[in-house]
Amino acid sequence: MLNKVLVVEDEQLLAENLKDYLQAQALDVRIANEGAMAIGIAESFAPDVMVFDYRLPDMEGFQVLDAVRQNRKCHFVLITGHPTAEVCERARQLGVSHILFKPFPLAELARAVCDLLGMEREPGTAVSTSEGFVERRQSRTESFPLQLYDGSWVLADRRRSSLATMAPDDEQLLTGE
C-alpha cells in the first residue's frame, strides 16, 4: 500500500508538478486547490502527510491544518512564498515538521516527505549526508520533466554551478578582487 500525500496548493501548475514529482517517489498523491476542498479530500483520502501552502484563496493554510488534525493523525509540511518570522513561529507552534520556502528544489520536498514517512528515497532525490550532497552537485544526469505556465514541458536538471568549474582567476574577475 502506498503512502498518501495531500498537496494543498492554489497554483494549479505548481500543484501538478509537485504531484508528478511525488508520485515518482512511489507515493499516492492527491491535490486540493482550496482549503475547503483539502478538508473534504482529507476526510476520505486519509493522508499520511499534508503538504500545504500558507496562503489559499478561501482560508489560511493553518486553518486547513487545524481541521485535518481534528480527524486525522497526519504529518505536515508547509510550503510558502511568505517566509515571515510570524508564519514560521506559528508553524512550529502547530507542530509543522518542515517548512520550505518557494521556490524550493523538488528533491527537498521529497526528502522532507520521505523522512516523515520513514521511507528510503528513490534514486536521484536528495540525501542528507555530505557525500550525497557532493555527489548530487557533481551529477549532470538528474532530471525531471516539469510543465511551464504556457503549457510546454521542460526537462529540469541539476547542473553544477558555473562558478564551481571556474579557474581561480575567472572567479577573481567576477568578484573584482
Give the global pTM: 0.71
The three grid cell numbers given for residue 49, joined into one nine-digit string: 502527510
CB 127, CB 136: distance < 8 Å: yes
Cα–Cα nearest to 26, from 142, 158, 114, 146: 114
Which residues sit opposite 126 in a β-bridge?
Answer: none
Q: What is the CATH number of domain 3-128?
A: 3.40.50.2300
Per-residue pLDDT of the chain (177 residues; tens, 9 = 90+): 689 999 999 999 999 999 999 999 999 999 999 999 999 999 999 999 999 999 999 999 999 999 999 988 999 999 999 888 999 999 999 999 899 998 888 999 999 999 999 986 544 444 333 333 334 444 444 555 666 655 555 555 544 334 344 444 444 444 444
SS3 68: helix
Write down the domain spans for the chain: 3-128, 141-177
